[in-house]
Structure 1
Amino acid sequence: MKATAVAHPIQGLIKYHGLADPILRLPFHDSISVCTAPLMTRTTIEFGGVPRDRATIDDRDVSARDMERIRAVVDPIREKASLREPFRMASENDFPSNIGLGASASGFAALAVAAAHAAGLRLSHEDLSRFARRGAGSAARSVTGGFSKWKVGLTDEDSYATQLAGP
């Protein structure tokens, strides 16, 4: 149960200016972004074969805080797929992280897509966007690519991104 996915960072055009619900990562208002391909994040996740959850980004173990955010994406996917196995995740960016280029957006988008496929789930872009949003709000838009709009929503189910125009 292993899968790899690629996602591209985004640049916000209309920002969401914070979260109305920090647990579900629901924004205060709609936002719009554009995908910045060819920059990309490649994430591989495998369920089983390891004694505990483990994650690396650019060949470095993640911090406890980053692992919490990763589990915020992976745990609901495991629950939906009725999986209990621990995971091993490796994510790599082909661009610098932590300088405002959207590594968290592409990272959590790639994680949501890879985790869903590795868990045997075939989900809509809306559902993938919702799962990705749990790690980083902007990841909701990174799932769709191109020009994307993240709807504010009032619940987990109705806050997701849709593509406005292709790449």
Structure 2
Amino acid sequence: MKLWIIIALIGFNSVLNAQEVINDGKRYEVKKGKIFHEGTDVTASLSVEERNNIFIQYERVSEDLKLKEKLEKEARKAEKAQNKAEKKQKQAEKALRKREKAQDNYDKAVKKLEQAQNKFEKLKRKGKLSPKEEAKWFEKLDNLTQSSEKAKKKLKRS
């Protein structure tokens, strides 16, 4: 924001001073092909050589102004391109973090499911499960399976 204000002030200042030319210590203003000194038209009273010098200086100042404006425009363009690139980079980083989180959630869900299956199999082998407990375990394993499938779908989407 500060950069824009500075550029605007420089541009405004340049526009105001673009018509002013200093020749032999005197300040002249050039407007529409006429030369003014302290608000009065002195075009006719100046010699051809002085007029040519003033117009040459005016052309230089005008060219400098155009060059400055062009450089400012290019600077704005470069800043805009940089901001766009930074925005794309942030989006890419955000997508990467989202993908990593989805992968982590999937890994955790699969690990929980495997641990629960192993514990269920161990308890079943030892014969320590009643029919009610076995039904609870089936429900728990079903929920964990659904959870891991849901995490897998999220991983594929990201």
TM-score class, shorter-chain normalisation, is: under 0.3
What TM-score do you get using the length of structure 1 for normalisation?
0.20
Higher relative contact order (CA 8 A, sep 6+): 1
Question: Of Structure 1 and Structure 2, which has the larger fraction of its residues in helix?
Answer: 2
